[in-house]
A and B are shown apart, each in its own frame.
Chain A
């Protein structure tokens, strides 16, 4: 029994079909708990006031936006090396979700930035890197959409994802080089001496887990839809040629 058995679409469909309701429940429960706790049962920050509460959407969406690309990188590698179709379809499924999360992070950041920094947008490396990440998502999705043959589309987007990852990291450091930041440092690091206070930290981690579950659920749904669409297409071709 190995992980690769789930590369078989039939097995993947069976497993994901069984797991999906539980993932949805986890996503709903964790998101609700984290967000309600964060919005209504945490004290106000002594400097930021009520606006600190936007952190419960801003940080998890930014986290998903970055890690969705990382997941696409891993699944693209699996497709290029082992030719498992489910892997390529999962990468395709994750891209629009990552793009939406990037936009959410940018928008909540802008809404948060107005009262805190006095501006919606600043020439800041982090903000710029996120905008660039959004552009990479757009290019990736556009390439998927414009190639008809599904296998060459999977190949080409995987190559783009690999090259794009290198350049996305480069762009991040280039952006740091380009301007000094207004954005605060990381508030959740495993290696930092001091993170944000536990009062904010616990609901934030719950919201993060909720967003991860939500991402997983959405990727599973979209991958299953893609597999079904492939099957429909195969059936239609068969019906036409028969």
Chain B
């Protein structure tokens, strides 16, 4: 499992791995929103939390279709499937690598981008905390969606249609944490629910992902 994680990380960081594309997308989105909405901080500040969460979600979505598709094209997915590591472990490893290469960097650059959108300073720590807690759920759900569509030729559009509705609860609770944090309200409830969704996804979804992979490798 560690070998698989190390291999996928190397593949992601080296040339053509696509690492950083999601980050640049996130940056561009945070630049485009003020240009589209107008330069008034009073208009941008209340929507900043939602826009940043939405941007993180879309940036996660961007790199999902290559998650299994590249391995399937060159046949290494078949090799990985016949390895002693159970497919559930493969699913968890893939999701972890996806999070390390998209979710984690997104979380780290989010405070910088939140300046562009005039996010209230009080909300900034909550933005980082909610993204750190919520983006793993996005990666795990996305891995499930990628496993469903791995055999399809034009799967990436279908992938977003399947995955985006599944992202709704994470988005709602994540954005709510930042909003409440910014207004100085208690964030315990949405934070607990967000953590619950993430832990539930990490615990259960690898099984669904592995089941979908088995069907597609049949």
Q: Which residues of A pack against B, CB within 8 Å?
A: 132, 135-136, 138-139, 142-143, 146-147, 152, 155-156, 159-160, 162-164, 167, 170-171, 173-175, 177-178
The majority secondary structure among interface residues of chain A is: helix
Interface Cβ pair total, 8 Å cutoff: 73
Given the complex of chains A and B, what is the CA–CA distance between A139 and B168 in angstroms?
A: 14
Asked whether B197 lies within 8 Å of A170 as measured between CB atoms, the reply is yes
B154 CB to nearest A CB, Å: 8
A7 CB to nearest B CB, Å: 21
Asked whether A160 lies within 8 Å of B162 as measured between CB atoms, the reply is yes
9-residue interface stretch from B36-44, B112-120, B205-213: B205-213
Asked whether A177 lies within 8 Å of B172 as measured between CB atoms, the reply is yes
B187 CB to nearest A CB, Å: 13
B169 CB to nearest A CB, Å: 4
Q: Which of A136, A146, A152 contacts B158 (CB 8 A)?
A: A146
Given the complex of chains A and B, what is the CA–CA distance between A142 and B212 in angstroms?
A: 16
Q: Which of A139, A155, A177 contacts B162 (CB 8 A)?
A: A139
Contacts of A142 in B (CB 8 A): 158, 161-162
Given the complex of chains A and B, what is the CA–CA distance between A180 and B212 in angstroms?
A: 37
B57 CB to nearest A CB, Å: 14
A143 CB to nearest B CB, Å: 6
Contacts of B208 in A (CB 8 A): 159, 162-163
Task: Beyond the given A160-B148, A171-B172, please list 9 additional residue pairs across the A-B interface where CB-CB is below 8 A.
Answer: A132-B165, A139-B161, A143-B158, A146-B154, A163-B205, A177-B176, A177-B193, A178-B172, A178-B176
Q: Which of A138, A143, A160, A175 contacts B172 (CB 8 A)?
A: A175
The majority secondary structure among interface residues of chain B is: helix
Given the complex of chains A and B, what is the CA–CA distance between A155 and B161 in angstroms?
A: 18
- Please, could you name 17 A-B residue pairs with CB atoms under 8 Å apart, sorted by A? A135-B164, A136-B165, A142-B162, A143-B148, A143-B162, A146-B152, A146-B158, A152-B216, A152-B218, A155-B211, A156-B216, A159-B208, A159-B212, A159-B215, A170-B168, A171-B169, A171-B172
Contacts of A178 in B (CB 8 A): 172, 176
B198 CB to nearest A CB, Å: 12
- CB closest residue in chain A, given B197: A170
